[in-house]
A and B are shown apart, each in its own frame.
Chain A
Amino acid sequence: MQIVDRRLNPKSKSLGNRQRFLRRAKAEIKEAVREAVKSRKVADIGSGENVRISSKSLREPTFSLDSKSGARDFVLPGNDDFVVGDAIPKPPPGGGRGSKGSKDGSGEDDFVFSLTREEFLDIFFEDLRLPNLVKAKLKNVKSQELTRAGYSTDGPPSKLNHVRTMRNSLARRIALHRPGIKTLEALEAEIEAAEAETPRDEDRIAELHARHKRVLYLRKTVAYLDPLDLKFNRHERRPKPSTQAVMFCLMDVSASMTERLKDLAKRFFMLLNIFLQRHYKEVHVVFIRHTNVAAEVDEETFFSGRETGGTVISTALVEMQRVINERYPVSDWNIYAAQASDGHNFSDDMEECLDILQMNLLSQCQYFAYIEVGSSDEGPYPPSEVWEGYEELLGQHSNFAMRRASDPGDIYPVFRNLFSDEKAQA
């Protein structure tokens, strides 16, 4: 007999099967994920992973006998009081335990299982790609950064690593029995005391002197700090891809934006945020709200605060420009902007908006998305001022996009449209 411990074997042995399974059920899973996105709070998207799919594409049919045809005899245990000839009514069809009858009579249950966060998001973002995602900068990297790369035995004094150096020194001194200063002082005190004694013990004094000499010799030959001990921090220059993105959320908070419209806008912003987080190591979010004046605010105020006043969109664009100039140099940051509004603006402000966008912002942004929220009960929208104004930009700038949404369910399709592959290639 032989015992083998298999517990440390590679864990994910079933991974290959799992991947094949996910691939198989892809269509259903995608549908389920889409449903989940529609109904769930956007904030939960990254965490909720239980998915219910119908097992249609997961069927494993075999030739099996139909339990509802013909005659059969079988035996059951636990007869209480039946005698031969008793009739027992059959359970009503579909009322049996376990599987419920489905439309095609296959009786297969829905299939529930959990996706990992990674798998969930992968499917969520499948065939979506941010346009110009690979900045020119990513391809031919210019900036470099110093990263730690262990230790080396030589280097400039400024990079001396004291802890390592002293650790080596201490170890070497202990190993070579270098007497410490305390030993020396104790010995000297002993000599002094011995010499001060009245009947001088010459033998002892001589021996002490010999020891003193030896100690001095050892201290001299075994250096306190030897070049051998020195350790220096080592750094390497590594090309630094631009892996940071900043996302500007611009929103009209004037009175015409109701809570519901804000909620719509919020979902859009959060989806964009999740998406950026997947592609960039670091994502900053800047919230700019505006009425007839614009200000950078924190998230809380952005979504819940109320302001009254007219609507001048250009103020927000100016504010955005200011923030970019101050904190987010275009050379280091991928800039994305998402603007949400109900489409109202002072009509004489549109020209200024277009000016700012065309002159500056659009060339600095990777992508500028405008989403117009409206309520569905208003029927088909009449084109709003902003919509009409922005339509000019559509043909000229491939990194500008605009969409309308009137219902939480619309958000995801809008999002997909905005960042779908075709769009990116167009």
Chain B
Amino acid sequence: MQTTGKSATAKPLFDGADWTFDLVNKAYDACAEVGLDELGLDIYPNVIEVITSEQMLDAYASIGLPHMYRHWSFGKQFVRDELHYRKGARALAYELVINSDPCINYIMEENSMTMHTLVLAHAAMGHNHFFKNNYLFQEWTRADAILDYLDFAKTYVARCEEKHGVNAVEQVLDAAHALMNQGISRFPGANKHVSLARERERALARHLYEEQSFNDLWRTVPTQQVNQGDDDEDVDKTSESGRQANLPEDNLLYFLEKTAPKLEDWERELLRIVRNLATYFYPQRQTKVMNEGCATWTHFYIMNRLYDKGLLTEGSMLEFLHSHSSVTMQPAWSDRRFSGMNPYALGFAVMRDIERMATDPTEEDKEWCPDVAGCGDAVGALKRVWAEFRDDSFILQYLSPKVIRDFRFFGIHDESQHPHVFVSNIHDERGYRRVRKSLSQQYCVSTSDPDLHVIDADLQGSRRLVIQHKVQNGVLLDRANCERTLYHLARLWGYRVKLIEVDNETGKTLKEHENLRMP
């Protein structure tokens, strides 16, 4: 920390582990003083909610959203988490924070006052700032509308269950969840700033309109066929204005919602809800390292400043450091505890490194990260990074040789048919760039998700839907999972579905899947 000059004159905020609402308030004010006045963070207003561990499990189970609609998979998640928690195999997170305006932070009642302070610095300051300023969140989510939208989704699903039965709703949701990762329009411009608030109004209005204007006669009116230009893509576009298939389409849920011939209106709406949620979570999936790095750096800064000011006792500081160092620990690959990269560790390390480079650069830094090295304004540099990058671009830009050396990163090349994997790069002059690129690829969501497109939907003939998987480096889809997912897909589509795996470079068809049993 660059903080100097201990002025331990102030009285500590608290002493001991017990917390009260008053103390939480005071701790928040102290964190805000550092976070807002010193760091100049830009945050949504905060709401702190105190919950019990059971409620935390609840929130966990419904992917972190407290007002989630009901579905058995959340119940499954709950009993699983509960069992782990009861056995002591897994501790609960200290906090949970929702990207919303106002930003909702959950703190658990059994935590000590030190942990509460840490959570406030971490979530209410760090995550909050990241949510509000990162370009992905700005582009993909509407923080002010998500809570209302969840409310709407919950009641809508409940109403559907009442009207059409729990089973019917469950089937649609199961299928939609299976395709959730294919429910995002990834390409720039595709995401037309959907306001979730307007979404809700739109859904209600559509429902009302259709109820009022329902006329069974329309079904019998012959529809006019329009040729789409591409000869192999005859698409029935007259069934509803605006419903036309622009193939290829990578957003399967969107395609089904608009085009699936057999779906009922409420089923389309359910798909839309799942799709909107997928979109809401999309930025979070792309910024795990940065988001945690930002929050961890922020809490580390704030806690240290509080200690410098004499607002934390030494006991609290030690408690904080203990938990901080456990959170930011990265076990080596050969360690029994290793379970992949720890985003807290990597994020925090790179943020600290940016801070170091800004104030105390080496020659190497000037070569590798010229834009921050020696700029002097560490906080300013960090804030710019937090706003303008996502995980893969962030790593590609700012993972310096020093961090690579510290983590002792090494690259592995794995050919599936070979009994060995090969060390392709290590932390040396030749390896830095390639390790950095490879790690960046690892965090790129568009390469870790299979690249799927609807390429054909024969709406006049067999009505068979054809999906194409563009295979990268020969990595095929997991067969069993693929077939089960196809079953769900076919259930939504209503007719047969075929999936072709095509090599991205040669264009050769590697494998075909077809849903054998029709739902």
Give me the interface of A with B, judged by CB distance under 8 Å. Answer: 1-7, 9, 11, 13-14, 16-25, 58-80, 82-90, 104-106, 111-114
Q: Are B79 and A65 in contact (CB under 8 A)?
A: no
Question: Which of A1, A5, A60 interacts with B32 by CB under 8 Å?
Answer: A1
A-B contact pairs, 30 of them (CB 8 A): A1-B46, A7-B52, A7-B55, A9-B55, A14-B58, A14-B61, A16-B75, A17-B70, A20-B71, A20-B166, A24-B170, A25-B76, A60-B177, A61-B178, A66-B479, A70-B471, A70-B473, A71-B475, A73-B412, A75-B412, A76-B412, A77-B330, A77-B409, A78-B335, A88-B422, A89-B419, A104-B480, A106-B480, A111-B76, A113-B79
Q: Are B78 and A14 in contact (CB under 8 A)?
A: yes
Question: Which 6 residue pairs across A and B have the least CB separation, nearest first?
Answer: A78-B332, A21-B75, A70-B474, A70-B475, A17-B75, A61-B484
Q: Are A75 and B439 in contact (CB under 8 A)?
A: yes
Which B residues from 311 to 344 make CB contacts under 8 A with A? 330-335, 338, 341
The distance in angstroms between the C-alpha atoms of A61 and B449, with both chains bound, is 14
> How many B residues are at the interface, by size bracket?
35 or more
The distance in angstroms between the C-alpha atoms of A1 and B124, with both chains bound, is 10
Q: Are B441 and A106 in contact (CB under 8 A)?
A: no
Q: Are B181 and A85 in contact (CB under 8 A)?
A: no
The distance in angstroms between the C-alpha atoms of A70 and B330, with both chains bound, is 28
Nearest neighbor of B440 in chain A, beta-carbon distance: A75
Q: Are B166 and A65 in contact (CB under 8 A)?
A: no
Q: Are B477 and A22 in contact (CB under 8 A)?
A: no
The 0/1 profile, CB within 8 Å of A marked 1, for residues 151-187 of chain B is 0000000000000001000100010011111100000
CB distance from B302 to the nearest CB of A (A): 15
Q: Are B422 and A85 in contact (CB under 8 A)?
A: yes
Question: Which of B76, B330, B478 interacts with A64 by CB under 8 Å?
Answer: B478
Q: Are B478 and A4 in contact (CB under 8 A)?
A: no
Q: Are A2 and B48 in contact (CB under 8 A)?
A: yes
Q: Are B438 and A73 in contact (CB under 8 A)?
A: yes
B359 interfacial by beta-carbon distance below 8 Å:
no
- Interface residue stretch chosen among B1-9, B374-382, B423-431, B458-466: B423-431
Q: Are A82 and B426 in contact (CB under 8 A)?
A: yes
The distance in angstroms between the C-alpha atoms of A76 and B61, with both chains bound, is 30
CB distance from A96 to the nearest CB of B (A): 12
The distance in angstroms between the C-alpha atoms of A104 and B480, with both chains bound, is 8
Task: State the majority secondary structure of interface residues on B.
Answer: mixed
Nearest neighbor of A8 in chain B, beta-carbon distance: B52
The distance in angstroms between the C-alpha atoms of A422 and B423, with both chains bound, is 68
B474: chain A residues within 8 A (beta carbon): 69-71
CB distance from B91 to the nearest CB of A (A): 18
Question: Which of A13, A23, A66 interacts with B475 by CB under 8 Å?
Answer: A66
Q: Are A71 and B414 in contact (CB under 8 A)?
A: yes
CB distance from A50 to the nearest CB of B (A): 9
Given contacts A17-B62, A21-B75, A79-B410, contact A66 B477 (CB under 8 A): yes
Q: Are A72 and B481 in contact (CB under 8 A)?
A: no
Q: Are B442 and A75 in contact (CB under 8 A)?
A: yes
The distance in angstroms between the C-alpha atoms of A4 and B105, with both chains bound, is 10
A89: chain B residues within 8 A (beta carbon): 419-420
The distance in angstroms between the C-alpha atoms of A72 and B480, with both chains bound, is 21
B263 interfacial by beta-carbon distance below 8 Å:
no
The distance in angstroms between the C-alpha atoms of A11 and B80, with both chains bound, is 18
Question: Which of B25, B49, B80, B471 interacts with A113 by CB under 8 Å?
Answer: B80
Which B residues from 45 to 85 make CB contacts under 8 A with A? 45-52, 54-55, 57-58, 61-62, 70-76, 78-80, 82-83
